[in-house]
Structure 1
Amino acid sequence: MPRITKEPEERRQEILETAIRLFYEKGYEKTSISDIAKEMNVAQGLCYRYFPSKETLFDTAIDQYAQTLADRMASVLNSGDITLKELITRMPTFLDTEKNDNYTYKLCHGPEGRKIHNQLSMAVCAKLLPIVQAQFDLANECGEVHLEDTLTAASFFVYGQLGMLMQTEIPGEERVKRIKKFFNDILFAPKD
């Protein structure tokens, strides 16, 4: 049987996608690097060439998905010359950007999903923090807001909304509405 050679990035992505599918189907704990290699019909060493451990492979897959979600959110945040108030109105949340059409989504929302979803949420927040801080810096420069510490404000806004997003007994649209109202109240409430 002839050896199939693939570009390194293509092979790396294939390993990630196979691993995520198996993590979803079999569970993270019950999936080994050997299982992933067998599923791909490759030598186990090939997987280790790209990922030194199952944990590294998993973390890389979650980070890649986090980047996808952050990019979707950032596309609105970086959409040009609009005010911070308008950005908040248009702002997508985790609820808006996740699509349930792939194995990473299913893994994060499946039976073992709580811990994995929390890891994903933290990764997305870390990627969004500098983008939100830059928006606050710009709003400060334009005089739209007056924030002394944009890093703290951005951290609060990015990570702080997770508490409300996790209130699953409240419908998703209502959670998003409350978050946006709170952001507007904090940033744009009339000063006494």
Structure 2
Amino acid sequence: MSKRNVKDPEERKRELIDTASKLFEQYGYERVSVRDILAEVNGAPGMFYYYFKSKEDIFLACMETYFDEKLKNKLDIFQNLEIDYEERIKMLRDLVVKDIDQFSRKYNFSSNNSITDNSYRLWELAHYIGKFIDVYSEFIIEGVEGGKIENNMEIDRENVKSFAAFILYGAAGTIYTNLINKGENKTNSSGAFEVISKFFPRIR
């Protein structure tokens, strides 16, 4: 008798997330059902509900998994003190531009999407940005204390998180405003970088 191929629980959960991500990207949130996901992995409803409470739950898990991978790449650069500060800024900008393009295609805010669909996407984007605040605050302080950027706004360790949050959420609004408000596949990363550079002019 052949042994049944029993997958590790984390492997099975990741398989569900990967499969659901592909379906959501291809068809949109509203046009994908739990049954569709299970059909792709040849699974039973009990198996799905062992890991997720609902379709909404796995949709958020898909986006969180996607964002966590992007977050790790950026954190590795932010915190790598062996790389020059200026070089880290360049690397991060290049990575952000690449991620913005991918995000706008993978998780678009098309007017053809339902309100629920776009609301979940927007909520997860805001949640993702929030995860940057602490590490971005440290990056700002490093630049100020290391004499890499001018401190015209009297930023210190007491108020830096407020500045970081304001800049990160403001930058996201600048980058994605046409995508979110008009459903246009158009972003404005250069405009966001220009504003950030005015906040933090670098010392020449």
| Fold conserved between structures, TM > 0.5 | yes
Question: What is the Cα deviation at residue 18 of structure 1?
Answer: 1.3
Distance (whole Å) between structure 2 residues aligned to residue 99 and residue 6 of structure 1: 35
CA contact (8 A) 2:104 2:185 kept: no
The answer as to 2:155 corresponding to 1:147 is yes
1:181 to 177, 181, 194: 194
Give the aligned partner of residue 30 of structure 2. 29
One-letter code aligned to 2:175: L
Distance (whole Å) between structure 2 residues aligned to residue 62 and residue 171 of structure 1: 20
Distance (whole Å) between structure 2 residues aligned to residue 24 and residue 171 of structure 1: 18
One-letter code aligned to 1:153: F
CA displacement, residues 137-187 of structure 1 (integer Å, 9 cap, x when unaligned): 333443554413011011012111012212558975xx4333333222222
Distance (whole Å) between structure 1 residues aligned to residue 6 and residue 185 of structure 2: 50
CA contact (8 A) 2:63 2:124 kept: yes
Distance (whole Å) between structure 1 residues aligned to residue 66 and residue 8 of structure 2: 21
Structure 2 length-normalised TM? 0.73
Give the aligned partner of residue 16 of structure 2. 15
One-letter code aligned to 2:162: T
One-letter code aligned to 1:80: L
Question: What is the Cα deviation at residue 88 of structure 1?
Answer: 3.7
In percent, how many aligned pairs have the same letter? 22
C-alpha RMSD of the superposition: 3.2
Shift in CA distance, 96/23, structure 1 to aligned 2, threshold 3 Å: closer
Paired residues for 1:110-189 under 5 Å:
111-112=112-113, 114-115=118-119, 117-142=121-146, 144=148, 145=151, 146-148=154-156, 149-168=159-178, 175-188=188-201
Distance (whole Å) between structure 2 residues aligned to residue 60 and residue 167 of structure 1: 24
Shift in CA distance, 124/94, structure 1 to aligned 2, threshold 3 Å: farther
Question: What is the Cα deviation at residue 94 of structure 1?
Answer: 3.9
Shift in CA distance, 188/22, structure 1 to aligned 2, threshold 3 Å: closer
Q: How many residues align?
A: 184
Shift in CA distance, 64/120, structure 1 to aligned 2, threshold 3 Å: same
CA contact (8 A) 1:69 1:98 kept: no
